[in-house]
Amino acid sequence: MLYLLIIFVDSPDHSIYKSITIFLISFFSNTFSAISGGGAGLLQLPALILSGVPYYQALASHKFATVALGLGGSLRNYKSIRNDLYVAFQILIFGLPGVIFGAYIVEFISEQYLYLFLGVFSTLLAFYSFNTSDLGLTSGNNKINFIQKIRFLIFIFSIGILNGSISSGTGLLVTILLIKTFGMDFLRSISLTFFTVGIFWNFTGAIFLSKIGTVPPNILFLLLIGSFVGGFFGAHLSKLKGNLLVKKTFTTVCLLVGISLLIKSIMIFL
């Protein structure tokens, strides 16, 4: 299969070694993302940019690939999703308009401020997760009042805007929001994040971003295969090892995403 994959993607400007490297980066970054509930863009997006793909094309390619991640993770965890379809419906109805709005304004906003905001937030989230020993380790069904529901939907819309514009780390935000709002554990909240953000949010964002520039088909094929396999494997591994592994991976990925985004922001400012 790997031989056929290499033959398919190989071209004068796309070497075999480059193909293998992109595939492996996609696989490993999406495996960790499947365990933590987000953060695939930490490795995958910079790798695409460093390989010469323009930013908006790289972002669109990354979003198409994370749809495959969502499919892989959801396929492994479909039983968990069935019990939370009403919450999934709310995330889609109020999040998708935010994604579309974010994809429209991405050309007109200053990236460094978004990177700075999300970098600081992700870093604080990592320390919060580390210092809250029981966070996401048990699952409940918190009943929320009208005010809490409105606040949840506002947050979903806001995260949708970030998802449509810069991508990195937004799955982590939805994961932690579900845990704090509804008392879900990590496995349950990540399953819902894959289904809503991974498949529907990212597919919508990818469609709108692809209008800015053509998505390279050779690279996209590699990313789709790596993301799907990585998503399925990561979801399977998290099921085997449980919430404690997921929490540790979530905390680590949040910290790495935060540091990465802060560095990007500083470099743009300089």
Instruction: Quote the distance between the C-alpha of residue 64 and its chain's center.
Output: 11
Q: Would you state the pLDDT for residue 108?
A: 73
Q: How many other C-beta atoms are found inside a 10 Å radius of the C-beta of residue 52? A: 12
Contact of 143 with 83, CB cutoff 8 Å: no
What the block records as the tokens of 53 is: 């793909």
The residue type found at 38 is: G
Contact of 139 with 76, CB cutoff 8 Å: no
Between the CA atoms of 121, 125, 127 and 129, what dihedral angle is there, to the nearest 10 degrees? 180
Q: What digits encode the pLDDT tens for the residues 119-174?
A: 887 888 888 888 887 887 777 788 889 999 999 999 999 999 888 877 667 888 89
Q: What digits encode the pLDDT tens for the residues 9-38?
A: 444 445 677 778 888 888 888 888 888 777
**pTM for the structure as a whole:** 0.80
